[in-house]
Structure 1
Amino acid sequence: MRHDKQATENAKQEVRRILGPLDARLKTRTFPVGERVMPADITVVCTLLWLYKQVLEPSFCQAFPNTNRWFLTCINQPQFRAVLGKKEKASREEKQKPQAERKEEKKTTAPAPEDELGECERAAAAEPEAKDAFARLPKSTFALDEFKRKHSNEDTLSVALPYFGEHFDKDGWSLWYSEYRFPEGLTPTFMSCNLMTAVFQRLDDLRKNAFARVILFGTNNSGSISGVWVFRGQGLAFPLSPDWQVSYESYTWWKLDPSSEETQMLVREYSSWDGAFQPVGKAFNQGKIFK
């Protein structure tokens, strides 16, 4: 494709427009989201990788010191280097060899069998096989997936909740009430909503064995977060995997009695997002569903 100087400059201007807010956010943060590497970091780093390698000259990058620091922090993590490091090093060494030497190596050197795999495939193959944290539990009569389908596709109060009440297996599953422990730290409601979403994103592997409806109550600078959860087994699921333990200690948890009227009222209110919501004492703002 013929080089178009104006198109290149337009593209760089677009990159400046996008990197500006990212750099500003990273001025007071190590990572854009949370306090450790998250899927967001992996996605953005991989998006920027070829820009940094082949497009952005040093003079361009100087305008984004915080982004540069974060990018270098990420790509030097062992997990990033396991996928990118060897390949990047080999690429640099290959560029430094004379052309004739590279051609000769291609003629005489056969690739080792392991080199037929990409770096990503080799890294994935090296990972230990994930264990099902719930495999030891006896089979349950309650089909969570069927309940989720009814919850998603049919009326909650007239169909999904009656199904739940009829089929819930109190021996194979448990109900829990959660309440965020630091409501004084909840400021704008959109940030509180993002906090709820971030918790769900870290629990993707738990979706087959859990369900929740979580509500943000109140207004800006006067909010609270609480919810009703369903878990496989009789205990909290979070301690079963390090990946699930990031945020759960920021909440207080109470195990509920499925047969009590108070629990049934809680389930109904949090399912319909309507009711007195005792003892919250604040108006419904918005809700999130983990399914």
Structure 2
Amino acid sequence: MAALKIYGIGPRTTIPRIAAQYEGLNLEYVETNPHAEGGVGAAYLEKFPLGLVPGLEHGEFKLTESIAISSYLASLENKANLLGQTKEQAADVLRWASWANADLIANLVSWFAPLTGSRPYQKPQVEAAKEKTLKHLAYLEKALSTRTFLVGERVTLADIYVAEVLSFGQRFVLDAEFRKAHPNTLRFWNTVVRQQPYTAVIGAFPTQIETAIVYTPPKKEAKPKAEQPAAAPKPKAPAAAAEEEDKPAEPKAKHPCEALGPAQSFPFDEWKRVYSNNDTPVAMKWLDEHFNANDYSIVRCDFKYNEELTQTFMSANQCTGFHTRLEASRKFLFGSLNVYGTSGNSKIIGVYMIRGNDWKAVFDVAPDYESYNFTMLDYKTDRELIEKVWSWEGEVEGLTVADGKIFK
């Protein structure tokens, strides 16, 4: 058999490696971190052009996506029947694995990530995610009331995927109180994670938190000591005082971009009308003639947690919510935030035109702006990408548009 190699980091490779243990396969693990400086590297991109991890290499055969990789490894010799013993069982295994790897983990992370500080905290969203997670887990508890394993009488990939997500949750929010209220789920989890192929990969027994973490607001910075009041100014002569009263008060800038004053050479509002009333290629030709980088800049926006996205319509709703929270910057902002790909394999990518060149001054009016990466673009160099995003046409990073939201 040709050499088997899996590329990725920690949790992303755990389940394929467990599947290999059940099958007795010699699977070489090559640590590959997409978040490291320089990303995954040119050699990896040559094998896996989209840069997705985990990636499996078996001779000339290359494969990405965790469930696909695990299923492939389980089917090579099929010693452990991890895919079930009938076609119906195989379909049910994939159903549970997909549920755990998309719906359950997405809601679970949306619940605890803001509590750990890795995402901005917004109480309504956290409470909604908690409610959805507990609803999913109530369904699991009921399903396990009449069976030891999720599909058939032996461990399958369904059990491994669900158990791994439960391990993740117990590190943060699925505490002792939750476990006491869900005895079937706890019994199932203990059974799966104590199997030898599982422990051979994860090593130490998974962490179980006693009390769920809660949100702790960041400490406010200490206020500087009040300065001593300055001596009262000498009264002015009546004539001087009257002259000063006649002067209009200077307006205060309500938004950082207000301080830039009006654009000198680019009619921003006219551009919005041109875009709205013409096909994008026609509007872009107008923009080619009028755009001036001295007044406005182009910014690319990428969601940081694409691996947690599930249904594309839910991602589109997220785009709408982000735009709603950008309302205070409407006078200084135009662009489109798009969902690329399909459910379970998607990315949120946007391109915006902003007043000035300080993207943070425009976007930090939205509390969740920290969930996105912002990159300054060059209008001429990145012209093709800009038109693709604003027209919703063509591929970006190998994916086509599923939905999008315009901000103008």
TM-score of the two chains, using structure 2 as the length reference: 0.37
Equivalent residue, structure 1, for 2:122: 35
Residues 192 and 156 of structure 1, relative CA distance in 2, 3 Å threshold: same
2:279 corresponds to 1:155: yes
Equivalent residue, structure 2, for 1:264: 383
What SS is found at the alignment partner of 2:292?
coil
- Number of residue pairs aligned between Structure 1 and Structure 2: 163
Instruction: Report the residue type matching 2:383 in the other structure.
Output: Q
Kindly indicate whether the alpha-carbon contact (under 8 Å) linking 1:186 and 1:192 is maintained by their aligned counterparts in 2. Answer: yes
Instruction: Report the residue type matching 1:199 in the other structure.
Output: F
Alpha-carbon distance in structure 2 between the residues aligned to 1:175 and 1:221: 29
Alpha-carbon offset, residue 37 of structure 1: 7.0
Alpha-carbon distance in structure 2 between the residues aligned to 1:276 and 1:187: 20
Alignment of structure 1 residues 199-218 onto 2, 5 Å:
199-218=322-341
Equivalent residue, structure 1, for 2:375: 254
Residues 134 and 252 of structure 1, relative CA distance in 2, 3 Å threshold: same
2:268 corresponds to 1:144: yes
Q: Please state which structure has a larger fraction of its residues in helix.
A: 1
Give the one of 298, 306, 320 matched to 1:197: 320
**Which digits, 9 at most, give the CA deviation of each residue in 1:96-121, with x for residues without a partner?**
xxxxxxxxxxxxxxxxxxxxxxxxxx
Kindly indicate whether the alpha-carbon contact (under 8 Å) linking 2:322 and 2:366 is maintained by their aligned counterparts in 1. Answer: no
Kindly indicate whether the alpha-carbon contact (under 8 Å) linking 1:189 and 1:219 is maintained by their aligned counterparts in 2. Answer: yes
Instruction: Report the residue type matching 1:150 in the other structure.
Output: V
Alpha-carbon offset, residue 138 of structure 1: 4.6
Residues 241 and 248 of structure 1, relative CA distance in 2, 3 Å threshold: closer
Residues 36 and 225 of structure 1, relative CA distance in 2, 3 Å threshold: same
**Which digits, 9 at most, give the CA deviation of each residue in 1:232-255, with x for residues without a partner?**
00110x44686x141221111111
Alpha-carbon offset, residue 139 of structure 1: 3.4
Kindly indicate whether the alpha-carbon contact (under 8 Å) linking 1:239 and 1:245 is maintained by their aligned counterparts in 2. Answer: no
**Which digits, 9 at most, give the CA deviation of each residue in 1:176-234, with x for residues without a partner?**
11111101111111111110000000011211111011210111121110011111001
What SS is found at the alignment partner of 1:135?
helix
Alignment of structure 1 residues 1-291 onto 2, 5 Å:
35-36=122-123, 131-140=254-263, 141-158=265-282, 160-236=283-359, 238-239=360-361, 244-260=365-381, 263-277=382-396, 280-291=397-408
Alpha-carbon distance in structure 1 between the residues aligned to 2:286 and 2:362: 28
Residues 270 and 202 of structure 1, relative CA distance in 2, 3 Å threshold: same
Structure 2 residue runs without a partner (length 5+): 1-109, 112-120, 126-251
Residues 245 and 185 of structure 1, relative CA distance in 2, 3 Å threshold: same
Alpha-carbon distance in structure 2 between the residues aligned to 1:165 and 1:274: 18
**Which digits, 9 at most, give the CA deviation of each residue in 1:42-69, with x for residues without a partner?**
xxxxxxxxxxxxxxxxxxxxxxxxxxxx
Kindly indicate whether the alpha-carbon contact (under 8 Å) linking 1:133 and 1:241 is maintained by their aligned counterparts in 2. Answer: no
RMSD over equivalenced CA pairs, Å:
2.4
Kindly indicate whether the alpha-carbon contact (under 8 Å) linking 2:280 and 2:387 is maintained by their aligned counterparts in 1. Answer: no
What SS is found at the alignment partner of 1:131?
coil
Instruction: Report the residue type matching 1:229 in the other structure.
Output: Y
Structure 1 residue runs without a partner (length 5+): 1-27, 39-128
Instruction: Report the residue type matching 1:205 in the other structure.
Output: A
Alpha-carbon offset, residue 146 of structure 1: 0.5
Residues 155 and 171 of structure 1, relative CA distance in 2, 3 Å threshold: same
What SS is found at the alignment partner of 2:258?
coil
Kindly indicate whether the alpha-carbon contact (under 8 Å) linking 1:180 and 1:251 is maintained by their aligned counterparts in 2. Answer: yes
Instruction: Report the residue type matching 2:380 in the other structure.
Output: S
Instruction: Report the residue type matching 1:148 in the other structure.
Output: K
Identity of aligned residues (%): 33
Residues 197 and 240 of structure 1, relative CA distance in 2, 3 Å threshold: closer
Alpha-carbon distance in structure 2 between the residues aligned to 1:201 and 1:182: 20
